[in-house]
Amino acid sequence: PLVVGFETSCDETGVGVVRGRTLLADALATSVAEHERFGGVVPEIASRAHLEAMVPTVHRALAEAGVAASDVDAVAVTAGPGLTGALLVGLAAAKAYALALDVPLYGVNHLAAHVAVDELQHGRLAEPSLALLVSGGHSSLLLVPDLSREVTSLGRTVDDAAGEAFDKVARVLGLPFPGGPPIDRAAREGDPSAIAFPRGLTGPRDAPYDFSFSGLKTAVARWVEARQRAGEPVPVADVAASFQEAVADVLTAKAVRACRDHGVDHLVLGGGVAANSRLRALAEERCAAAGIVLRVPRPGLCTDNGAMVAALGSRLAEAGVEPSAPDLGADSSLPIDVVTP
Ligand code: ATP
Ligand code: MG
Ligand code: FE
């Protein structure tokens, strides 16, 4: 089916077009620059920006895909989790679109969509797969027996999300927001073993699949402050590389362990932090050693976009899943196990 997907859960206005598992267009507008001076996404600013960007972004997506609105078979939209006001803009647009074209509407879970997007690049997901979902607001290990119907959480962060830790550490280091990309770049010049930062929740009695990044973030901040107090220069590249190594180490170790414990030999990465070059390299190395088939979408598909929503919508339509009711609402804390509300 030809599916248009709408994504507005955070600061990206995304409209994607897919036919089956073929990506036809992925139009994106972002309000990231407007949030930079606040050091985080401001919900009211994001909502207004979505409103302004929505119509031009839809037009751009259809033009890029080379399709007419009348060709569209179904509409998909992120129903949650995310910022309520931001979600509502995408929902209003998607509902209006589905109604006007008289096609089914699929509300989708943003987190499941982060996993589904990989099918646009690497084809049908093996099921069951394990998914490591790491983004600005979430860090979870998911068991995915059927991405259209059944996703279960094995573990999650007990405090900060991995992306949040990148953003906070970047701030401490004086790097711009969002912090993932500049830390990734700075780390290339640094030594990942320069500083031994803590690996949270990796003790023998700790929950095997849960994550904790707040202790790591604090450890980095303390280390940097101590340097500054002593009047010594902060080795930004070494701190970035050592911090990034600690995150990648824990994430990949736990993902591989979860695969082994559950007898699953396919792992897929998703979410903005999956764009991280060290996480990708270490996951590749450890999966190869453990005999696990690893799939990682290209960086542009890892961060928020409309194509991921269209990808999940297309899958739901193909699987014969019941479309959403016309009164579909936004759910800012939609649980991960609800693929389509
Ligand atoms: P969620 O999906 O939880 O609602 P989100 O929608 O804000 O969160 P995504 O676009 O999926 O987020 O991810 C954004 C996060 O990814 C930010 O925290 C950003 O710093 C991080 N990120 C992006 N690129 C990289 C990178 N190369 N290395 C590490 N982190 C990165
Ligand atoms: Mg974003
Ligand atoms: Fe996201």
Print the SS3 string covering 205-239: CCCCCCECCHHHHHHHHHHHHHHHHCCCCCCHHHH
Does residue 102 come out as left (phi exceeding 0), alpha (psi in the -120 to 50 range) or beta?
left
Q: Which residue has the tokens 């995310």?
A: 82
- Name 294's bridge partners: 267
* Contact status, residue 270 vs residue 302, Cβ threshold 8 Å: yes
Q: Tens-digit pLDDT profile for the chain (341 aa)?
A: 999 999 999 999 999 999 999 999 999 999 999 998 888 899 999 999 999 999 999 999 999 999 999 999 999 999 999 999 999 999 999 999 999 999 999 999 999 999 999 999 999 999 999 999 999 999 999 999 999 999 999 999 999 999 999 999 999 999 999 999 999 999 999 999 999 999 999 998 999 999 999 999 999 999 999 999 999 999 999 999 999 999 999 999 999 999 999 999 999 999 999 999 999 999 999 999 999 999 999 999 999 999 999 999 999 999 999 999 999 999 999 999 999 99
- Give the atom of ligand 1 at the shortest distance from the alpha carbon of 138: 3
Distance 88 CA to ligand 1 centre (A): 21
Q: Please state the atom number of ligand 1 nearest to the C-alpha of residue 167.
A: 20
Spatial neighbors of 92 by CB under 8 A, at least 6 apart, are none
Which atom of ligand 1 is closest in space to residue 41's alpha carbon?
7
φ/ψ bin of 4: left (φ > 0), alpha (ψ from -120 to 50), beta (otherwise):
beta
Ligand 1: residue of 30, 108, 166 to mutate (most ligand atoms within 8 A of CB) is: 166
- Residue whose CA is at the smallest distance from ligand 1 atom 19: 180
pLDDT for the residue 56: 98
Two tokens, residue 237 = 């590249």
Counts for the chain of helices (H) and strands (E), in that order:
12, 10
Exposed, middle or buried: residue 315 (CB in 10 Å: 0-12, 13-18, 19+)? buried
Q: Which amino acid is present at 242?
A: S
The reported pLDDT for the residue numbered 258 is: 98
- Ligand closest to Cα of 273 equals 1
Sheet containing 74-80, strands listed edge to edge, beginning at the edge strand earlier in sequence = 22-30, 12-19, 2-7, 74-80, 105-109
Mutate to test the pocket of ligand 1, among 132, 169, 244, 273 (most ligand atoms within 8 A of CB): 273
Instruction: Give the integer Cα–Cα distance in Å for 339 and 23.
Output: 21
Annotated binding-site residue numbers for Fe cation: 110, 114, 304
Give, using CA atoms, the residue closest to atom 9 of ligand 1: 272
Closest CA to 111 of 335, 323, 314: 335
Strand partners, 266: 293
* Annotation: binding site: 110, 114, 133-137, 167, 180, 184, 276, 304
Measured in angstroms, how far is the CA atom of residue 124 from the centroid of ligand 2? 26
Task: Report which DSSP code applies to 105.
Answer: E
Q: Which atom of ligand 1 is least distant from the CA of 166?
A: 20
| Residues within 6 Å of ligand 1 by CB | 9-10, 82, 110, 135-138, 163, 166-167, 178-181, 184, 271-273, 275-276, 303-304
Given a contact cutoff of 8 angstroms between Cβ atoms, the answer to whether 243 and 216 are in contact is yes
Ligand 1: residue of 8, 9, 10 to mutate (most ligand atoms within 8 A of CB) is 10
Please state, in angstroms and as integers, the Cα–Cα distance from residue 328 to each residue in 4, 54, 80, 100, 167, following that order. Answer: 17, 19, 11, 16, 32
pLDDT computed for residue 33 by the predictor: 92
Q: Where are the alpha helices (DSSP H) in the chain?
A: 32-35, 43-65, 84-101, 110-116, 118-122, 162-172, 180-187, 214-229, 236-262, 277-290, 299-302, 306-318
Nearest to 339 by CA among 78, 124, 136, 160: 78
Give the residue among 126, 135, 138 at the shortest CA–CA distance from 265.
126
Closest residue by Cα to atom 31, ligand 1, is 180
11 CA distance to ligand 2 centroid (A)?
Answer: 5
pLDDT given at position 39 = 82
Ligand nearest to C-alpha 301: 1
